[in-house]
């Protein structure tokens, strides 16, 4: 097919989208309001994908990316749009996904952190080889081609400094990159996270993901990093499987502190090497603040499901007479137990939510408030049914996937609950990702 002109009308995932010959056509690095000359590169069932050849008319919503490799790297596909444009389209997309479930006037304006650059306090970058040396970067869109990144504008400057120093040390030691085709080599990726970044007590955790633990004395290599690079903790994650998963199942402590300690009001959250946390600490704190503000004053008992290290309990526990956390990952629950060891009114339960909920119902526990923060797959049908049996006065649903949120809201609102507020939280500027916090109230209690 010959080249053709395309007007971009909206965003869809990482792409700008326009219509041509009654078909949606997706183009990377395109902004609503742009007009492009494009060339078709893939015809799909629901939409086609085209390559932008020439930007004919630039949208007023465009902004200058602060990253030199933004057009090649797949990490920040919306960086060429203004922050205001990004938030407008995120809310618009959310309203469309919740259509027929929630009135658009219940979807509030997007709440966002102050920073749109330098905000990521967790970085996990695969490594490769260029000109004979280890480099770190991100995968190019729709490929396994590594785009080397020497400076990432959205990551915490402390992470950037430490990654550069660590890569230099690894190169000096002759560490080799793992090769996915041959299965040979040592290092697959580097994970770095910081906590308490706005305070003097900043801590840095670093994980080396390796395919071959026996290739060298890793502890001897990393011990100097604690003092030289200002690293708090170093771990090694063992991953020799030929998969695209970023982490293996086994993680070992190598040097420094066993945990990172993150201050949340009266409590200290303990963060493990590979435990889940949001990629932005300021965004995570904003999310916790939004949840806290949505909780009605009449709530005195809390059930925190998919609790992780206990973030939401940490910000709500002092307002509750009793709180119960449920988390299936033992390491996450170990961290929560350490956090709330001196809080007699906080109970921790390790196990899958689907298995623990029937136990709590059998014990007669009837919380005023349930906070759910499920994975992208959302809530299992059995969990939604159990929420009905628990009859809480209020449910706060924290979602990272609006599509499964819509599915679950459909079931939750069929009989027992109604949506009171929907708060979109933009924790990931320059990406299509959006956290959504929904407050549901009981129609029976």
DSSP state of 178: P
Q: Is residue 181 very low, low, confident or very high in pLDDT (cuts 50, 70, 90)?
A: confident
Counting the structural domains of the chain, the total is 3
Question: Whole-model pTM above 0.85?
Answer: yes
Cβ-Cβ contacts under 8 Å for 59 (sequence gap 6 or more): 8, 31, 32, 33, 34
pLDDT of residue 275 exceeding 90, the answer is no
Q: How many CB atoms lie within 10 A of CB 389?
A: 12
Q: Is residue 83 part of a domain?
A: no
Predicted local confidence at residue 197, as pLDDT: 75
Mark whether 104 and 219 lie in a shared domain: no
Q: What is the mean pLDDT of residues 141-148?
A: 87
Mark whether 136 and 230 lie in a shared domain: yes
Predicted local confidence at residue 198, as pLDDT: 64
Mark whether 96 and 153 lie in a shared domain: no
Predicted local confidence at residue 413, as pLDDT: 95
Mark whether 302 and 431 lie in a shared domain: yes
Mark whether 132 and 168 lie in a shared domain: yes
**pLDDT tens profile 61-87:** 999 999 999 989 989 999 999 999 999
CATH number at residue 437: 3.40.50.150
Percent of the chain with pLDDT over 90: 88
The residue count of the chain comes to 445
Q: Is residue 67 part of a domain?
A: no
424, containing H or E segment: strand 417-426
pLDDT of residue 32 exceeding 90, the answer is yes
Q: What is the mean pLDDT of residues 274-297?
A: 93
Mark whether 288 and 435 lie in a shared domain: yes
pLDDT of residue 321 exceeding 80, the answer is yes
Q: Are 73 and 97 in contact (CB under 8 A)?
A: no
Task: Look at residue 309 and give its three-state secondary structure.
Answer: coil
Predicted local confidence at residue 272, as pLDDT: 84
The structure tokens 């994975």 sit at 375
Predicted local confidence at residue 264, as pLDDT: 87
Mark whether 41 and 189 lie in a shared domain: no
Which two tokens mark 316? Answer: 């709500």
Q: Are 374 and 396 in contact (CB under 8 A)?
A: no
Q: Is 152 a catalytic residue?
A: no
**pLDDT tens profile 329-370:** 888 888 999 999 999 999 999 999 999 999 999 999 999 999
Predicted local confidence at residue 143, as pLDDT: 82
Displacement of CA 106 from its chain's centroid (Å): 25
Q: What is the mean pLDDT of residues 90-96?
A: 97
Mean pLDDT of the chain: 94
Predicted local confidence at residue 1, as pLDDT: 66
- Cα–Cα distance measured from residue 30 to residue 98, given in angstroms and rounded to the nearest whole number: 25
- Cα–Cα distance measured from residue 110 to residue 67, given in angstroms and rounded to the nearest whole number: 24
Q: What is the mean pLDDT of residues 424-445?
A: 95
Mark whether 3 and 146 lie in a shared domain: no
Which two tokens mark 310? Answer: 């206990």
Which two tokens mark 293? Answer: 């503000």
Q: Are 47 and 10 in contact (CB under 8 A)?
A: no
Domain boundary among 206, 238, 263: 263
Mark whether 103 and 159 lie in a shared domain: no
pLDDT of residue 276 exceeding 90, the answer is no
List the catalytic residue out of 73, 76, 299, 400. 400
Q: Is residue 23 very low, low, confident or very high in pLDDT (cuts 50, 70, 90)?
A: very high
Displacement of CA 44 from its chain's centroid (Å): 28
Domain boundary among 263, 289, 305: 263
Predicted local confidence at residue 35, as pLDDT: 98
Smallest Cα–Cα separation from 384: which of 400, 363, 364, 404? Answer: 404
Mark whether 106 and 132 lie in a shared domain: no
The whole domain housing 44 covers 1-61
Region for residue 103 given its phi and psi (left: phi exceeds 0; alpha: psi -120 to 50; beta: otherwise): beta
Mark whether 138 and 253 lie in a shared domain: yes
pLDDT of residue 56 exceeding 80, the answer is yes
Percent of the chain with pLDDT over 70: 99
Q: Is residue 200 very low, low, confident or very high in pLDDT (cuts 50, 70, 90)?
A: low
CATH number at residue 51: 2.40.50.140
pLDDT of residue 199 exceeding 80, the answer is no
**pLDDT tens profile 412-421:** 999 899 999 9
Mark whether 172 and 291 lie in a shared domain: no
**pLDDT tens profile 217-238:** 999 999 999 999 999 999 999 9
């Amino acid at each position: 097919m010959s080249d053709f002109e395309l007007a971009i009308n909206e965003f869809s995932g990482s792409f700008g989208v326009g219509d041509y010959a009654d078909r949606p056509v997706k183009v990377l690095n395109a902004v609503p309001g742009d007009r492009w000359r494009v060339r078709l590169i893939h015809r799909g069932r629901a939409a086609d994908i085209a390559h932008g050849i020439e930007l004919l008319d630039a949208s007023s919503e465009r902004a200058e990316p602060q990253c030199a490799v933004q057009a090649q790297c797949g990490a920040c596909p919306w960086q060429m749009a203004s922050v205001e444009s990004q938030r407008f389209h995120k809310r618009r997309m959310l309203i469309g996904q919740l259509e027929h479930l929630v009135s658009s006037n219940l979807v509030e304006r997007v709440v966002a952190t102050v920073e749109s650059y330098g905000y990521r306090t967790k970085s996990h970058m695969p490594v490769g080889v260029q000109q004979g040396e280890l480099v770190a970067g991100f995968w190019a869109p729709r490929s396994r081609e590594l785009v080397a990144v020497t400076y990432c504008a959205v990551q915490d400057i402390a992470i950037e400094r430490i990654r550069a120093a660590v890569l230099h040390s690894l190169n000096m030691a002759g560490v080799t990159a793992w090769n996915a085709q041959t299965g040979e080599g040592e290092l697959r990726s580097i994970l770095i996270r910081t906590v308490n970044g706005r305070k003097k007590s900043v801590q840095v955790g670093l994980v080396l993901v390796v395919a071959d633990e026996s290739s060298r004395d890793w502890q001897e290599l990393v011990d100097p990093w604690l003092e030289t690079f200002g690293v708090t903790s170093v771990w090694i994650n063992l991953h020799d499987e030929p998969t695209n998963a970023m982490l293996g199942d086994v993680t070992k402590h190598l040097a420094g502190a066993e945990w990172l300690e993150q201050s949340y009001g009266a409590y200290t959250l303990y963060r493990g090497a590979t435990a889940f946390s949001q990629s932005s600490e300021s965004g995570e704190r904003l999310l916790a603040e939004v949840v806290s503000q949505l909780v009605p004053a009449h709530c005195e008992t809390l059930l925190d499901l998919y609790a992780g290290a206990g973030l939401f309990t940490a910000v709500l526990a002092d307002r509750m007479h009793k709180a119960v956390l449920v988390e299936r990952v033992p390491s996450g629950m170990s961290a929560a137990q350490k956090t709330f060891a001196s809080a007699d009114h906080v109970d921790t339960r390790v196990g899958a939510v689907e298995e623990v909920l029937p136990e709590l119902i059998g014990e007669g526990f009837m919380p005023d408030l349930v906070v759910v923060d499920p994975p992208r797959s959302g809530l299992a049908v059995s969990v939604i049914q159990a929420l009905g049996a628990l009859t809480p006065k209020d449910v706060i649903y924290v979602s990272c996937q609006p599509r499964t949120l819509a599915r679950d809201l459909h079931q939750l609102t069929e009989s027992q609950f109604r949506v009171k507020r929907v708060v979109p939280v933009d924790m990931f500027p320059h990406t299509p990702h959006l956290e959504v916090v929904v407050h549901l109230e009981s129609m029976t209690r």
